[in-house]
């Protein structure tokens, strides 16, 4: 393995069960899933200068993508090009855009950082990112126990600031109380918000004459939903929920416009505008050139590339092609959403490899964007495609 900027610190604690139990008490209830050890009990150390560059790149890319969304709004031919379901078009045109940098207040970039420290943006989950509990709760605790610096301690404060603005009455996910990760995520967000917010199951929600109600019949006027907005086009009741939004009976967070940030087609739009010399100034073009990957709606690459659904999640739909353009590996664990949504093609990027007590993995680096600011890192260790079978490994910063 070539020399890397990353170091893996420590050895797993011999009493894993005690640490898993403590993490469970803190709110991270899926460190172990049956016989699977999801959490790797070591810490990946990143140089402080790489972390500083990552935060700066995230802040700049965030505003570039925000600018691109504002360029797209109202242009239905572009909605279609980036895969936005038609059921959402009226809502996107009807509702006012949130303030600059705040289209989504809860998002996560995923970056490929190579062994030499080169940073490239892979994608943005601007609608329903998970990994918050791992980043905001588990990582600071684990780093503190190891005497390692963690920038993630500020995440709760940023969430509190975001929710103070949005003030939802309810937080929803599918399978609340049954799906450990999603339930734990909204519970942690509610706890960190400091607000009196009730948690509800999306499957128990219904719309009565344009008013959203929970399973008890109580009306909900403002709601945070850990629910992918593209599924409104497929799920029964999606049109009724949007009717409540369009008529002012329901304010949804993240805002409906976050689906424009969520689409991987937006990166193709940004790259196309960059190549045409449109929209972006010299400094923005420099950022795009340095941190973004060539991304297109068609497979025009001569060398290796990746194809993925514009709304793929957890690695689902990802296919990697080699330098000859032949399929090398594809994700078979996640749901392949390319049967429902268009595909984008992106140049492949190199992920650093790390050697852990559980084996050698590729490292994917997440950066949360909370209330419009870089908020904390998520480390995931997996194969060439980081999907459902990947592991959580905390990221710390070298002093």
- Tens of pLDDT, residue by residue over 174-233, are 999 999 999 999 999 999 999 999 999 999 999 999 999 999 999 999 999 999 999 999
User: Quick one: which of 192, 90, 9, 101 has its CA closest to 374?
Assistant: 101
pLDDT number for residue 313: 63
Alpha-carbon torsion, ordered 358, 359, 365, 366, to 10 deg = -30
| CA-to-CA separations, 204 to 171, 172, 392, in angstroms, rounded | 13, 10, 31
First to last CA, the chain: 24
Mean pLDDT of 78-87: 96
pLDDT in tens, 326-383: 888 887 666 666 677 889 999 999 999 999 999 999 999 999 999 999 999 999 999 8
Looking at per-residue confidence, does 161 or 305 come out higher? Answer: 161
Q: What angle do CA 265, 314, 365 make, to 5 degrees?
A: 85
CB 152 within 8 A of CB 43: no
CA 145 from centre of chain: 27
CA-to-CA distance for 48 and 7, rounded, in angstroms? 12
Tokens 């950022």: give the residue: 287
CA-to-CA distance for 75 and 80, rounded, in angstroms? 9
Q: Output the pTM of the full model.
A: 0.95
Mean pLDDT of 231-236: 92
CA 387 from centre of chain: 13
User: Quick one: which of 163, 173, 247, 180 has its CA closest to 205?
Assistant: 173
Average pLDDT, the chain: 94
Q: Is the pLDDT of residue 130 over 90?
A: yes
CA-to-CA distance for 7 and 228, rounded, in angstroms? 35
Q: List the chain domain ranges.
A: 7-46+266-397, 48-108+122-262
Q: Is the pLDDT of residue 142 over 80?
A: yes
pLDDT number for residue 327: 84
Looking at per-residue confidence, does 105 or 332 come out higher? Answer: 105
CA 227 from centre of chain: 12
Portion of the chain with pLDDT greater than 70, in percent = 96
Query: b or e along 217-253 (b: 16 or more beta carbons within 10 Å of the residue's beta carbon)?
Result: eeebeebbbbbbbbbbbeeeebeebbbbbbeebbbbb
CB 237 within 8 A of CB 247: no
pLDDT number for residue 314: 61
CB 361 within 8 A of CB 48: no
pLDDT in tens, 147-158: 999 999 999 999
Q: Is the pLDDT of residue 118 over 70?
A: yes
């Amino acid at each position: 393995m070539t020399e890397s900027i990353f170091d893996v610190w420590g050895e797993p604690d011999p009493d894993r069960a005690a640490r898993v139990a403590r993490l469970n008490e803190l709110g991270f209830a899926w460190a172990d899933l049956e016989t699977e050890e999801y959490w790797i009990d070591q810490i990946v150390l990143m140089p402080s200068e790489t972390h500083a560059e990552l935060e700066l790149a995230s802040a700049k890319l965030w505003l570039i993508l925000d600018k691109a969304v504002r360029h797209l709004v109202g242009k239905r031919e572009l909605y279609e090009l980036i895969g936005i379901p038609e059921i959402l078009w009226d809502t996107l045109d009807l509702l006012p855009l949130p303030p600059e940098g705040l289209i989504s207040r809860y998002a996560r970039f995923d970056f490929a950082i190579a062994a030499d420290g080169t940073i490239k943006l892979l994608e943005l989950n601007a609608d329903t990112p998970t990994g918050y509990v791992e980043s905001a709760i588990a990582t600071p605790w684990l780093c503190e126990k190891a005497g390692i610096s963690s920038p993630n301690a500020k995440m709760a404060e940023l969430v509190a600031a975001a929710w103070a603005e949005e003030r939802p009455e309810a937080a929803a996910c599918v399978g609340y109380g049954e799906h450990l990760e999603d339930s734990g995520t909204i519970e942690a967000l509610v706890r960190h918000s400091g607000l009196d917010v009730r948690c509800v199951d999306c499957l128990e929600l219904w719309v009565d004459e344009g008013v959203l109600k929970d399973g008890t019949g109580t009306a909900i006027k403002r709601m945070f939903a850990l629910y992918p907005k593209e599924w409104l086009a497929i799920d029964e009741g999606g049109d009724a929920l949007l009717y409540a939004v369009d008529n002012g009976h329901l304010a949804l967070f993240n805002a409906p416009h976050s689906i424009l940030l969520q689409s991987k087609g937006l990166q193709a739009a940004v790259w196309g505008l960059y190549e045409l010399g449109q929209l972006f100034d010299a400094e923005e073009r420099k950022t795009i050139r340095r941190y973004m990957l060539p991304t297109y709606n068609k497979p025009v690459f001569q060398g290796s590339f990746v194809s993925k659904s514009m709304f793929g999640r957890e690695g689902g739909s990802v296919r990697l092609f080699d330098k000859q353009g032949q399929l090398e590996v594809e994700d078979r664990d996640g749901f392949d959403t390319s049967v429902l949504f268009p595909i984008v093609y992106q140049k492949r990027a190199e992920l650093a490899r790390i050697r852990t007590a559980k084996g050698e993995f590729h490292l994917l680096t997440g950066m949360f964007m909370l209330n419009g600011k870089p908020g904390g890192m998520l480390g995931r260790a997996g194969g060439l495609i980081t999907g459902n079978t990947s592991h959580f490994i905390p990221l710390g910063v070298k002093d």
